[in-house]
Amino acid sequence: MLGELIDDTQHLDDVIDKLNKIIDLKLRERAKGDYVPSAATKFFDVVSPDDAPDAKKDFLMQISCVDVDHERRLDALKTAERLRQTELAAKVNEFDEELSDFVTQRKLRKTGGTEELERRRAEKEVEVMKDMLKSVEEAEQARRAKLAQRKAGAASKKQNT
């Protein structure tokens, strides 16, 4: 809290320094005769060139005389934070609402999680292994059949000779 107040005073000092520089520049421009009022000041000139130093002193005096009620300021900050929290709580997030509707209406498919996935993978592996063994057995039978045909062919040639 003290750090924030120190920061506030530093910012106010910067603002006052900048205001002093602006006032000095405007006074110099008016003294030279090069002064061209901006659109805002064409219709309403608040301070005449002669009253500018007094207006600056009056402005600085008003700033220094401001009585800041820190307790009221802290209460206002707490109230604003509570209001923000209630607004956040009351704020409807469309995605959350749609997600909760989706889940409550049971549109979500039940996949069984990782256990189901592992079970399906194991079943696939077993099927692939069976297919692989079946094809190996078929190939072995085909090889044996060819071998038997060769032997039968060789035996028939021996008998013919």
Token output for 13: 């000092």
Alpha-carbon dihedral sign for residues 68, 69, 75, 78: positive
Token output for 103: 């889940």
pLDDT tens per residue across span 4-61? 888 888 888 988 989 888 888 888 877 776 655 555 454 445 666 667 677 778 777 8
Quote the pTM value.
0.29
Token output for 133: 């063994």
Question: Is 102's pLDDT higher than 70?
Answer: yes
